[in-house]
Every structure is written in C-alpha cells, then in structure tokens.
Amino acid sequence: MDRKRCCVKLSVQPSRGLVDEKFIVLVQKVPPGLQLTVHALHQCEDGHHWEAFAHYTANAAGTVNVAEDPSEGGTYSGVEQMGLLWSLRPVPGSQPGLRLRRRNVQTPMEVTISVYHGHQTGGFVGHIPLASVLVERWYMAPGVRRTSFKERGLNAALFLPPGPGPFPGILDLWGGGGNIVEYRAALLASRGFASLALDYLTLKTLQKTGKMESLEYFEAAYKVLQQHPEISSSRIAVLGLSLGTSVTLKLDAYSKIVKPRCAVCISGSHVQPVDGSVADIFAYCDKNASNIRFSEENQMISRDLLLPVPTDPALKVDVGQLQCPLLLVVGEDDQNWPAYESAMDIKQMMEQAGNNHLLTILSYPNTGHLIEPPYTPHTRASLFTSFPTREKSMVLWGGETVSHSRAQEDSWRKVLAFFRENLHGGRSPVAPLSSHL
C-alpha cells in the first residue's frame, strides 16, 4: 500500500487515564478490507521493552475499532478492548523472568500504540508504522497527594485523595518481596480511599534488630491512619496480598488495636503459627521445604509448603473470631500459595463459628497468584527475590492469560464495591470509576 495515498487516522480515547480505565483504539481512513496490525510498545523503568499486537481487517467503512472488532491473531484473539495492555509481554530476546511493575507512581506508564500495514508478527522496530499515538496510564489521579512516612519507626507511603476529607482509610500490605509497593495504594487513593502502603520486611530493620517486624509495627501503622486529621478513624480497612493476607487475618482476629471496618485478602492463607511473628511464618515454611516442587521449566512451585491445611488450631488463625466483613480473592491455579484450599477451610471454620455471614469469596478458575489491578500484564512465572535470604528463584505463579486477566478486572471492581459498601455506607467515593484525567 502506498503510504502517501493512505492518510491513516489513529486515535486512542482517552489518551490519558487511570490504569483501571478502558480506552478505545480507533483506526480510520484505510482501504476497506485492508489487513492491519495494531501494536503496543512500553519501555519499563528498568529499560526492558514490552509489546503486544493484534491482527485486524478494516471493515467496509475503512475502520478498525479495537473495542468492537475481533482480533484475528497476535498476542490475543477475539474482541478484547484492553488486550493491547493485558497481553503485553517482553519483546523477543529479553532476559527471562521479567515482571512489569511500576515503581514511580508520580509519573505515567507510557505506551505507544501504532498501526502497521499487513499482519505482522515481529520485527516491529524495522517497520515504519502508518500512524502512532502515545498513551499515558496513571496510578495517581490529579490532586492525589503522596507523602513518605518515616515516623514511629515505620517505612511507608501515604496517599490521600483530592479534596478536604475526611476519607476512609486502607492499610495496604503486600507480600514477601519486601520494600514499599505503592501502585495499588496510589490507585486506591485515586478512587477516594486514603491508603498507607507499608514496608514490613525492610532489610534495615532486620539488620538493626536481628528480627522482623512484630504485631506492634502493624498496629502503629494502623494508628497513623486512625489519627490522621484527613482520615475518618472509624472507617478503616486492611488489604493484604499473599503474605500480607497472613498479617491481615492475624491483626483482625487478635489485635486489640486494629479493629477494621472490613478486610480484603488476596491470594493468601490463614495457616501460620498463631503465637509467632512474621519470621515464624517463614520458619514454618522452611520446615516444609521438602514439599517444594518444580515445573518442567524448572520453575518453583511452593503452594504445598502449607498443605495439607493443618487441623491443629495453633497453626492457623482463628477466623471464627473475626468481627468484620471479609472478602477473599482466590486464584484456583495459584501455584505459590494454597489460596483456594485455605479459603475453603476459612469458610468451614467460619460456618462452625457462626460468623460466615461476614465472608465473601471470589474464586476464579485458571487464575494464578498475582492478582493485580485491571489490565496489568499476566505474569505466569518470574524471577523473585525471596525474603530474608535475598536469593533469586524462578517462581511459578500460575494462571492462564485470558482467564487471569478477566479475574483481575472483575475482582478489582468488586473489591472497590466492597470498600464502598463497608467504608462509605454504599455511597460512591470521591473518584468514580469512569473518571478520566
């Protein structure tokens, strides 16, 4: 096709938006029946390139609407409005074990959307696109405020929504990788929830005291939310993922200080030495190290470390003591934690205790461990630095890309609805889900 005779129009609306918002990719002014490839390219903060692409055929009007038209091949197929994001993968030749995560949430994730002539499958760098558009994807909405928090011995980042407040608060606890992970807290603040992203596996504390953080550390973080002038002290939740689930359930069941309005636990378990600390969870797993398996690709499968679910009450949180609504988000193909088996045992324990009316379980088939905000690329396996040894291993997280991506989108909206119901009394938060930058 003569590019001079084809003034292709490519648009992405909105071109600036939050990462959990959909966009519409529209190609116009091409010959009817023309075969095209729509391509997405992102360079992450560590310099690696990620790409996704899909094959389309222009309709009789000479247009392709990615939100409505089926992809005929590429990194996804069928009608997938956001497939150009959730099917992103490292470009050929990249080092193995990469995972796409945003560190600096105060700048956008930039994605170049391009359209190419023909059904291309690779070598995009050597081809000249017919048109390109730069798209910005943000975790922080305009007006969201970020503050580093180093007081009271804590290492955290606080995100406050726009406006005067008071806002409901969320204590955001990630898993066993350590360091502060900010992007979920930033996105929650963009949706109207003041969020404190807490690092509880920091090496500095371990090196200084020789031990990991105690329950009092998490209680101090909870008090930060309670005592903040722009946060409603009676409307606070705890959100945990992976190891963060272990901490969340223990706080909710046993702490005399942490009394959340509700709790959300993603991809985790209640199995742990009840009288122990975070360090004792690692020690318990180490005792069962012989249960670790490896896939055919030599990827570590650690879900059996906590299986079978023990019957000894000293080895699992007494969820029968929970007094607040609990939402469990579970991937049925989680290869890292026995999240599904744990959820079923939690359900049984709460039924026996008579508080199962507080429990909601979202269980997703063919979904792995890393259940992230919508349109985050699915990572089935990646290189992971375990704590506290800092050893790197190729870890199998599990999941099938399409099902996992569906689960991320569905669960995020239900998590937000759960927080709205329990922290806002059903009223909408400051930032509706459809808001654009």
For the domain with range 145-423, which CATH number is right: 3.40.50.1820, 3.30.300.30, 3.40.50.970, 3.30.565.10? 3.40.50.1820
> How is domain 7-138 classified at the CATH fold level?
Immunoglobulin-like (2.60.40)
> In this structure, which amino acid lies at residue 230?
E
Mean pLDDT of the chain: 92
Question: For the chain, which ranges sit under pLDDT 50?
Answer: 3-5, 428-436
Question: 240: part of which helix (H) or strand (E)?
Answer: strand 231-241
CA 411 to chain centre: 10
Output the pLDDT for position 432. Answer: 41
Query: 260: cis peptide before it, omega within 30°?
Result: no
Amino acid (1-letter code) at residue 258 = V
Domain extents in the chain: 7-138, 145-423
Assigned token pair, 39: 């391509």
Three-state secondary-structure class, residue 222? helix
Pairing of strands 194-198, 167-173: parallel
Taking a C-beta distance cutoff of 8 angstroms, is the pair 341, 277 a contact?
no
Say what the pLDDT of residue 45 is.
96
Please report, as a single letter, which amino acid is at residue 429: P
Q: H-type helices in 101-255, by residue range?
A: 183-190, 203-209, 215-227, 243-254
Q: Distance (Å, rounded) from C-alpha 85 to C-alpha 75?
A: 10
Could you give the angle at the alpha carbon of 39 between the alpha carbons of 382 and 383, nearest 5°? Answer: 5
Query: What pLDDT is recorded for position 431?
Result: 44
What is the rounded CA–CA span in Å between residue 101 and residue 186?
Answer: 13
Sign of the dihedral defined by the CA atoms of residues 329, 334, 339, 343, in that order: positive
Alpha carbon distance 298, 289 (integer Å):
16
Number of Cβ atoms within 10 Å of the Cβ of 383: 13
Q: Which of the residues are catalytic? A: 242, 334, 369
pLDDT at 212: 61
Beginning with the edge strand found earlier in the chain, give each strand of the sheet holding 64-65 in spatial order: 9-13, 24-28, 64-65
The reply to whether 145-423 shares the fold of 7-138 is no
